[in-house]
Structure 1
Amino acid sequence: MSTYLYGGQVQANGIRQHYLRYGGKGQPLILVPGITSPAITWGFVAQRLGEQFDTYVLDVRGRGLSASGPALAYDTDTCADDIIAFASALGLAGYHLVGHSMGARFILRAATRHPAAAIERLVLIDPPVSGPGRREYPGKLPWYVDSIRQSMTGMSAEDMLAFCPTWSVEQRALRAEWLHTCFEPAIVQALEEFHSVDIHGDFPVLRQPALLMVAGKGGVILPEDEAELRALQPALSISHAPHAGHMIPWDDFDGFFAALGTFLGPSFC
């Protein structure tokens, strides 16, 4: 039985923010996807989360059905502020934040910029740990830009095969359908800020319990990165999805929930 309830829009932090809601019962949970992932592409994960949480999946500004275009700012701090404003606009309290890749960086910054926010726990799913003077993020700009530009003229699941060769037909079809909603300048800025914005300084001041989920085959977070982050935040929990690349639930759905474990309370295993 589906846990999907509805999609909605709310005015928060001065923009229209679109979201999808699943479950409707239990503790609130806000899921923030990655750099070119509109909310709908995380629906298969939210469907499962909605069995135990009141789950809201955000369209980050410049993606999906949220506000977009050249008049908006797309920097890390602004996007982090969007999350807190979204929760406030809906009257959410005692909520969890779950973020993937770019979304993980945004929720971490949201928690440290707004220490009084009613955030309970954070799940940081394979966040880029690049930054000034650090190792580059494995994903390169042409992969994003070329696929976005092709999507503007229409793409099929077969077309998407060149960019996502390990994904299922259904996964590729959904990405092909929605990728055109990703505003290219927002994507370019986000990727640039993976290298110009250092999130390591956020870890020592993080007040909430946090789980760092590492993709075993992603190449984004290496053992030395884990050690550095644990040194910066000794209370940090770390789990692994050993059989998955960076897009963990796409590669290993059960492995994703195994890595989540009981960190948020209930177990999905």
Structure 2
Amino acid sequence: MTTHIRCVPQSALADLADVPATSRWVRSGATRLHVLDYGGPGVPLVVIPGITSPAVTMDFVARELTGLVHPLVLDVRGRGLSDGGGTYTLEEYAEDVEAVVTGLGLDRPVLFGHSMGARVAAVTAVRSKVALRGTVLGDPPMSGPGRGPYPTTLEAFAGHLAQARRGTDADEVALAWPSWPRREQELRARWLSSCDEEAIAATHRGFETEDFFDWWPSVPAPTALLYGADSPVVTAAGAAEATRLLPTAALTVIPDAGHMLFWDNFPTALTALREALRPMLT
């Protein structure tokens, strides 16, 4: 990819006025990380979004969890309002999560990651640099060396980023994601240009050079894995391998959902996440 300047249009920043969260900032080395903190007295839940999902795009999930947990959603480095730069490897992303936990003084949080974020949550748990109550992984990419390619090509990501830089809208986003809720189409249209192209390219390379299953068998209990019944990312064979390699993990399939669990079947995915979290909140 040719590197282009990231931008966050004013219309995107205005979205934050409608989000019931406070912006918090931490440093991971020299990198400034932005976190949306939804507050509340519950157990902290650090939410780690996917490859092209700034924190605000997980608002519709986080705000529905505030009665159960204290959600904090990370703008992963190179996305949203967080700085870019670095190597964008799984361990660097895990260092960022560790910095959020320590920098915000979170007491034994639970980690929930979707897609790329699920891989990061697994690696953070295995590294054991911060104390956790558990992890929930949402449809983690199971591609890697010697495995099939990640089903969305880098060229497809580049095309969507080009649309965002040029200026897109919810109608154009709907051409690629017709079943998404309208607000999520609108947020993607306004926030995708905040994603750094090198971050996307490096992460995509990682999907095929860093093997999820190198880490998964060592993820400490309790852990749960949610996946879409129609997901091309976690296939039936992948779910079976995950069960074989870590039989203590709780796997739940989300019907009528592909890789984008909450965008595809929000009520069922939210219920599954709540049920996965409950045993971890002691």
TM-score, length basis structure 2: 0.89
**The one of 245, 252, 263 aligned to 1:239:** 252
Alignment of 1:20 with 2:36, yes or no, is: yes
Shift of 1:207: 1.7
Cα separation, 2, equivalents of 1:158 and 1:6: 30
User: Structure 1 counterpart of 2:135, which letter?
Assistant: L
User: Structure 1 counterpart of 2:137, which letter?
Assistant: L
Shift of 1:144: 1.0
Q: What residue ranges of structure 2 are gaps of 5+ in the alignment?
A: 1-17
**The one of 12, 21, 38 aligned to 1:5:** 21
CA distance 1:4–1:102, shift in 2 (3 Å)? same
Q: Which moved more, 1:178-187 or 1:231-240?
A: 231-240
Shift of 1:206: 1.8
Cα separation, 2, equivalents of 1:201 and 1:260: 25
CA distance 1:266–1:229, shift in 2 (3 Å)? closer
Match of 2:53?
37
Match of 1:75?
89
Alignment of 1:142 with 2:142, yes or no, is: no
Shift of 1:12: 2.6
**The one of 182, 185, 193 aligned to 1:180:** 193
Shift of 1:180: 0.2
8 Å Cα contact 2:216/2:246 also seen in 1: yes
Cα separation, 1, equivalents of 2:254 and 2:246: 21
Q: Which moved more, 1:80-89 or 1:115-124?
A: 115-124
Match of 2:275?
262
CA RMSD of aligned residues (A): 1.7
Match of 2:208?
195
Q: What residue ranges of structure 1 are gaps of 5+ in the alignment?
A: none
8 Å Cα contact 1:143/1:163 also seen in 2: no
Cα separation, 1, equivalents of 2:164 and 2:19: 30
Alignment of 1:253 with 2:266, yes or no, is: yes
Shift of 1:116: 4.5
Shift of 1:266: 7.4
User: Structure 2 counterpart of 1:64, which letter?
Assistant: G
Identity level (%): 38
Q: Secondary structure at the match of 1:99?
A: strand
Shift of 1:196: 0.5
Cα separation, 1, equivalents of 2:176 and 2:154: 13
Q: Which moved more, 1:119-128 or 1:196-205?
A: 196-205
CA distance 1:42–1:119, shift in 2 (3 Å)? same
**The one of 52, 64, 68 aligned to 1:48:** 64
8 Å Cα contact 1:4/1:50 also seen in 2: no
Cα separation, 2, equivalents of 1:162 and 1:210: 35
Shift of 1:99: 0.1
**The one of 114, 128, 132 aligned to 1:119:** 132
The Cα offsets for residues 201-226 of structure 1, whole Å up to 9 and x where unpaired, read as 21222223111101011121122212
Count matched residues.
263
Cα separation, 2, equivalents of 1:154 and 1:223: 38
User: Structure 2 counterpart of 1:242, which letter?
Assistant: P
Shift of 1:183: 0.3
Q: Which has the higher helix share?
A: 2
Shift of 1:122: 0.5
8 Å Cα contact 2:101/2:130 also seen in 1: no
Shift of 1:18: 0.2
Shift of 1:3: 8.4
The Cα offsets for residues 12-67 of structure 1, whole Å up to 9 and x where unpaired, read as 33310101111422101000000000000000100011122111000000000000
The Cα offsets for residues 143-187 of structure 1, whole Å up to 9 and x where unpaired, read as 211111121121111222232222233221110000000001110
Match of 2:122?
108
CA distance 1:266–1:211, shift in 2 (3 Å)? closer
Cα separation, 1, equivalents of 2:68 and 2:20: 12
Cα separation, 2, equivalents of 1:209 and 1:13: 29
Shift of 1:261: 4.5
Alignment of 1:99 with 2:113, yes or no, is: yes
Shift of 1:142: 1.9
User: Structure 2 counterpart of 1:13, which letter?
Assistant: G
Cα separation, 2, equivalents of 1:223 and 1:208: 22
Shift of 1:258: 2.5
User: Structure 1 counterpart of 2:101, which letter?
Assistant: A
Q: Which moved more, 1:175-184 or 1:207-216?
A: 207-216
